[in-house]
Amino acid sequence: MKISGGVEWGLHCCVVLSGATEPVPAAKLAEFHDVSPSYLAKQLQLLSRAGLVRSAQGHSGGYVLTRSAAEITVLDVVEAIDGAESAFRCTEVRRRGPMAAPPERCTTPCPIARVMAAADHAWRESLRAVTIGDLTADVVGTTPPETLDRALAWLRA
């Protein structure tokens, strides 16, 4: 099991966007994080489709958050990029083979699927409890103000 690497990029981009006041182009975000511009563009498109960011075309265009960073959870970003379906998919093994369970016995989900679904739920709830605003506050609280100003100035330039 491996989560898409684009999730990390998307989260970093959201944190950066939460501090910016003007639209930030994808190319600038890519250079800021030193990652592939083309591939990062794909992740930003996913964020755009999910309605987390809005894109502005043309000169001085770029990406902006559609709502306050405190209103965007980490889970929103993860699901936008990595998909919302559970990592575990029950293939209904119990209905196969010589001892296949009859359909009338399968009204409730397989116990295994239930356990995996519960774990998946716990994972998602944990991610839902944290917002991009929380992440930004953490970064702001542990970084010298002059460094933050330099970064914002670099983004503007």
Partner DNA sequence: GACTTCCTACTCGGATACTGGCTGTCCGAGTTCTGAGGG
Partner DNA sequence: CCCTCAGAACTCGGACAGCCAGTATCCGAGTAGGAAGTC
Binding positions for a copy of itself, rule: CB under 8 A? 1-5, 7-9, 11-12, 15, 31-35, 74, 82-83, 87-91, 93-94, 96-101, 105, 108, 111-112, 115-116, 118-120, 122-127, 130, 135, 138-139, 142-143, 147, 150-151, 154
Q: Does 10 bind DNA (CB under 7 A)?
A: no
Count of residues interacting with DNA (CB under 7 A): 29
Q: In angstroms, rounded to a whole number, what is the distance separating the alpha carbons of residues 63 and 20?
A: 10
What is the DSSP code string of 51-89? TSEEEE-STT-EEEESS-GGG-BHHHHHHHHH-SS-S--
Task: Select 29 or 74, whichever has its Cβ closest to DNA.
Answer: 29
Which partner, a copy of itself, DNA, none, binds residue 157 by CB below 5 to 8 Å per kind? none
CB atoms closer than 10 angstroms to residue 88? 13
Q: In angstroms, rounded to a whole number, what is the distance separating the alpha carbons of residues 37 and 24?
A: 13
Q: In angstroms, rounded to a whole number, what is the distance separating the alpha carbons of residues 119 and 72?
A: 23
Which partner, DNA, a copy of itself, none, binds residue 61 by CB below 5 to 8 Å per kind? DNA
Task: Select 56 or 154, whichever has its Cβ closest to a copy of itself.
Answer: 154
